[in-house]
Structure 1
Amino acid sequence: MHTLTKRAALQRLVIGTAAAVAAFGAQAQTTTLTVASFPSFDLAVKAAIPLYKKVNPNVEIKLVSLAFADHHTAMTTALAAGGNVPDVMGVELSYIGRLVESKGLEDLGKPPYNGMALTPKFAKFTVPLAMSGSGTLAAIPADIGPGALFYRKDMMDKAGVTEADLTKSWESYIEAGKKVKAATGAYLMADAVDIKDIYIRSGLKAGEGIYFDKKGQPLIDSPRFQKGFELAKAARNAGIDAKVKAWSPEWGEGFKRDKVASQMMGAWLGGHLSNWLAPDSKGQWRSAQLPNGAFASWGGSFYAIPQKAQNKAAAWEFIKFMTTNKEMQIEAFRKLDAFPALIEAQSDPFVNEPIEYFGGQKARQLWKVSADKIQAIAVDKFDPVANEIVNAELDKVLEQNKDIKTALADAQSAIKKRVRR
C-alpha cells in the first residue's frame, strides 16, 4: 500500500509538472531533454526517468553520463566554448565554484525561474555554495554530504578500541589507530591526507572559505592548515595509514581485503561501502560523528542549466522535480544514500530506519545532526587549484619530511602566482 501511495503522489506531482511546463511556453511536440551527469549521481536520474515519462510522455530524458573527472572537464570546456551543452547539467561541490563563476550558466534566481523562492526549502548551507559573488544563483542543490566517520566495529572490538576512543579527539583517533594496527594488522585510515582534508573544513564560520578569504587572498599560511598538516604528519609517523589515495584501485581493495578499518567522508560513502566497496562486510561497519566534535560538509551535488541550453523551460521543471519533490528526494536517498538537500525529505521516517549494513544502526539520524550543524562556507573558482597545490606540498611533508611551515609558505606563494587576482 505504501508503494502505491508513493507512486500516486509522484504521478500527481509530475502531472502538475507537465502543466507547469505547458504554462512555461513548452510546445506539445516531443521534447528531448539532455541531462549530463556522473556516477553515482546519475542513478537518481535513472530512477526518475520512468516516473517522469509515464505521465509526461512528451518529454524524453536522454542521460549522458561520464566518469566524474571527465564529466566536469567536458562541462567546463562546453561552457567555455558555448556549444555542445546539455539542457540539465549535474555538478559536484568541488567544481561548483569554478562553474558558477564561468558565467555560462543561467541565473536561476531571476525570472522566468524565480529560484530564490525555493531556497527556504533546502539545508541552509547549500544554496550559498551555488551563488556567485554578484548574487547569481547558478544551480539548485540536490543532495549533500554531511561528514561522517565510518569504522569497522569488529576490528575495534578486537583491538579494545571504543567509538569514544575514535571520536574524542584527533590525538585519541591516532592513538586508537596504533592499537588497531597492532591487534589486527589493518590500517586505521587509507591516507593521512584525509585528516587534513576534514580538519581544514571543520570549524569554519558562515561565509568563510576553505582556501580563500572574502577578498580572494589565500589562507594557507595559517594555524588551521598548520594543525591539519601536523595531524596528517602524526598519522603517517604512527604508521596508521595505508598510503593509498581515495578512489584508486588500491583504495577499493583495502576495504575488500579488510586492510582499512575506518574512513572519513560524506555520508554517501555508506552507499558505496554497501553496494560495491565492501558488500561482504555487511553488519561490521558503523558510522559516527567526526573526531573532536568536528562537523564538515564533504561533497554534494547540484543541477544547473547552461545559457546555451535548447530546452530551458523543460529543464527547469525537471530540476524542480529532482530537487523539491520529497518523494523523488527520498527515492534518491534510498538508491544512492545521497542525503537530501530538501529539508522536508530529511524529516521522512526513512531517516529513522535501521540500516542492516551498519548492524541495524540508525546512522541517518547522525547524518541529520551533522547536516544541521554545517555552516554555509564560501566557494571560490580557484578552490581546485588551491587544493592541488596544498596536497602537493603535503606530499612533500609526508614523503620527504619537508618542514611544515616552509611547505605552507610555499603553497601560499604558489597559489598567489597561479591565481593572480
Structure 2
Amino acid sequence: MKSLVKPLLITAAVVAAFGAQAQDAKPTITLNVSSFPDLDRGVKAAIPLYKKLHPEVEIKLTSLAYADHHTAMTTALATGANLPDVMAVDNGFIGKFAESGGLEDLSKPPFNALAQRDKLAKFSVNQATSGTGALAALPVDIGPGALFYRKDLLDKAGVTEAEMTKSWDSYIASGKKVKAATGAYMLGNALDIKDIYIRSGLKDGDGVYFDRKGNSLVTSPRFVKAFELAKAARTAGIDGKINAWSNEWSEGFKRDKIATQMMGGWLAGHLNNWLAPEQKGKWRSAQLPNGAYGFWGGSFYAIPKQTKNKQAAWDFIQFMTFNKEMQLTALKSQDSFPVLLEAQTDPFISQPMAYLGDQKARENWKAAADRIPAITIDKFDPVAESVVNAELDKVLEQNKDIKTALADAQAQLKRRVRR
C-alpha cells in the first residue's frame, strides 16, 4: 500500500504547486467590449473596480466614433463576424438592434433580467424590449429631458425661467425677447420642439410613431401640433436652423448664439467638458416647457448570441447596471444619469453643480425621470423619424401645408414599412 500512497502525495503536491502558479497567472478570460464616446469612459472607469471582483477577467475595450460604432455593429450582427462579447447600443439604435434577432433575450434563462426590473427606472427597460417581448439589452444610463438655458442672456432680456417654461407659446414669446435683446437664437433648431412635443402626453405602453398593432400615428393631432409649434418658432425667427452635433452647433454655444437647448441631463457634462467650458456658471437647467417630460438618449449593453463568453459578459453587464458604486462612478466621471434607482437616491444627486451656477440640477432630472412614461419601441421608429423630419423640413423651408406633409409621411411609411 505504501507504494500507492507516495505517488498520490506527489501528485497532490504538483497540483498544489500548479494551483499556486495559477493564482499568479495572467487573467484567463478576455472580455471584448465594443463602445463609443463618451460611454466608453464608463467602461474605462469600471475596469479597476471590476478587476477587484474578477481578477481572472481581462477587459479589452474597442471604441469607435458614434456612427462608426453602430455601423460596425450592424454589419457584425448581419454577418456574424467580428462580434464583441459585450455590445454598447445607444437609444437611437436599440429598436433596430432589438429586432435584429442577433442579440440574446435577457429576459430568459440563464439571465432572467426582468426579475430585477423594479430596481431600474421604469421606462428604461421598455426602451430595449422588442415587439415580441424580448429584452435585447440592459440599460446602463438614462437621459431625463431638460431645458438648459443661459441665465445671463435671459436676464439681459428680462425673461424669467417661470415665464419661459409656462407653455410652448410663452417659450416662443420669450425667444423673441431674447433674440431682440441679445441677438442670440432661442434654440438651435425648431426640430427640437417637434422632438419633445411628439413624446409629450404619452402613457405607459404607448408608442411615439406606431401603436401596438404597428399602425402609423404620424397624422394624429399630436404630430399636427408639434409641426405647428416648430413652424411658429421658425416664423418667429428664434431658431438658428442649426443641426445638433454639427460644427456650427458647437460654435453657437461658444459664441453666445444659442440661449437654450432641450436635451438629456447629460448635456451638462458635454457643455462643461468640451462644448462651452469657459461659460461655467452661466448655464442653468429647468424642466421642459408646458410640463412636458421625456427622455433624450439612454445607453444599453447587449450580448450577441454568437459570443462564447456569455456568462462573463452577463456578469460584467450586471456590474455596470446594478452595482451602485459603478453607477455613481459613471455619474461622476461622465455625467451619465444612473438608471439604478438606488443610485438616484444617493446624496450625491443633491450636490450643487458648479458649471450650472451651483444649482442642484440632478434633483430636477430625478423628478423628471420619475414622470417619464414607459413607452414602447418599434423597429421602424428610425425610419419613421427620418420620414417625419424630411416632411417637417419641407414645412419649415418650403412652407408646405402641415396636414399635407403629415399625410405624405403616412403614405411613405406605408410603402417603406412592410410588416
The TM-score range, normalised by the shorter chain, is over 0.9
User: By how many angstroms is 1:73 displaced?
Assistant: 1.6
Correspondence for 1:76: 74
Larger displacement relative to structure 2 (136-145 or 52-61): 52-61
Shift of 1:310: 2.1
Name 1:44's counterpart in structure 2.
42
DSSP-derived class of the 1:64 partner = strand
Helix, strand or coil for the counterpart of 2:177? helix
Partner residue of 1:177? 175
Q: Which moved more, 1:27-36 or 1:112-121?
A: 27-36
In structure 2, distance between residues paired with 1:51 and 1:213? 42
SS in 1 for 2:44: helix
Which residue is equivalent to 2:237?
239
Match of 1:9 in 2: none
1:212 aligns to what? 210
- Contact 2:149-2:261 at 8 Å conserved across structures: yes
Distance 2:299 2:60 in 1: 19
Partner of residue 296 from structure 1, selected from 290, 294, 297: 294
Aligned to 1:13: none
Counterpart among 304, 307, 323 of residue 306 in structure 1: 304
Does the alignment pair 1:419 with 2:417? yes
- What corresponds to 2:146 in structure 1? 148
Q: Given that residues 83 and 308 in structure 1 are in contact (C-alpha distance below 8 angstroms), is that contact kept between their aligned partners in structure 2?
A: no
Distance (Å, rounded) in 1 between the aligned partners of 2:411 and 2:67: 27
Local SS of the residue matching 2:123: coil
**Residues 151-230 of structure 1 aligned to structure 2 (within 5 Å):** 151-230=149-228
Aligned residue runs from structure 1 range 77-116, under 5 A = 77-116=75-114
Query: Where do 1:270-419 residues align within 5 Å?
Result: 270-419=268-417
Contact 2:129 2:376 in 1 (8 A): no
- Structure 2 residue aligned with 1:59: 57
Give CA deviations for 1:119-154 in whole Å, capped at 9, x if unaligned: 111011111221222221111110001100000000
What TM-score, normalized to structure 1? 0.92
Residue equivalent to 1:15: none
Q: Is the CA contact (8 Å cut-off) linking 2:141 and 2:338 kept in structure 1? A: yes
- Cα distance in 1 between the residues matched to 2:189 and 2:133: 37
CA contact (8 A) 1:200 1:228 kept: yes
Which runs of no fewer than 5 residues in structure 2 stay unpaired? 1-24
Cα displacement (A) at 1:248:
0.4
Does the residue aligned with 1:62 lie in a helix, a strand or coil?
strand
SS at match of 1:147: strand
Moved over 4 A (4+): none
2:122 to 108, 121, 124: 124
Q: Using the alignment, how far apart are the partners of 2:216 and 2:71 within structure 1? A: 24
Instruction: Measure how far apart 1:28 and its partner are.
Output: 9.4
Would the aligned equivalents of 2:131 and 2:378 in 1 still touch at CA under 8 Å?
no
Distance 1:363 1:29 in 2: 42
Match of 1:32 in 2: 30
Count of aligned positions: 395
Q: Deviations over 1:243-286 (max 9, x none)?
A: 11000010000001110000000111111111111100000000
Contact 2:131 2:377 in 1 (8 A): no
Q: Does 314-323 or 47-56 show the bigger shift?
A: 47-56
| Most deviating of 315-324 and 121-130 | 121-130
Asked if the contact 2:178–2:185 (Cα under 8 Å) also holds between the matched residues in 1, the reply is yes
Choose 144-153 or 92-101, whichever is displaced more: 92-101
**Letter paired with 1:366:** N
Tell which deviates more after alignment, 371-380 or 63-72: 63-72
RMSD, aligned CA: 1.2
**Following TM superposition, by how much is the alpha carbon of 1:70 offset from its aligned partner in structure 2, in angstroms?**
1.4
The CA distance in 2 between the partners of 1:399 and 1:361, in whole Å, is 38
**TM superposition shift of 1:29:** 5.7
Mapped to 1, the partners of 2:212 and 2:114 lie a distance apart of: 23
Q: Is the 8 A contact 2:33 2:61 kept in 1?
A: yes
Partner AA of 2:341 in structure 1? I
The CA deviation at 1:347 is: 0.2
CA distance in 2, matches of 1:374, 1:29: 42
- Cα distance in 2 between the residues matched to 1:209 and 1:116: 21
What is the CA-CA distance between 1:94 and the residue it aligns to? 1.4
Per-residue CA shift, 1:316-347, capped at 9, x if unaligned? 00001100000100110111211111000000
Amino acid of the residue matched to residue 278 of structure 1? A
| Cα distance between partner residues in 1 of 2:336 and 2:172 | 29
Aligned partners of 2:140, 2:50: CA distance in 1, in Å? Answer: 17
Structure 1 residue 178 displacement after superposition: 0.5
| 1:195–1:228 CA contact under 8 A, matched in 2 | yes
SS in 2 for 1:125: helix
User: Given the two structures, how large is their TM-score scaled by the length of structure 2?
Assistant: 0.93
How far off is 1:88 after superposition? 0.3
Aligned amino acid, residue 144 of structure 2:
P
Inter-partner Cα distance in structure 2 for 1:28 and 1:283: 47
Q: Work out the CA distance in 2 between the residues paired with 1:77 and 1:209.
A: 27
SS at match of 1:138: coil
CA–CA separation in structure 2 for the residues paired with 1:132 and 1:236: 36
- Conserved 8 A contact 1:351-1:365: yes
Which of the pair has more CA radius of gyration?
2
Q: Distance in 2 between matches of 1:229 and 1:191?
A: 13
- CA apart distance, 1:55: 4.6
| Equivalent-residue separation in structure 2 for 1:278 and 1:313 (angstroms) | 42
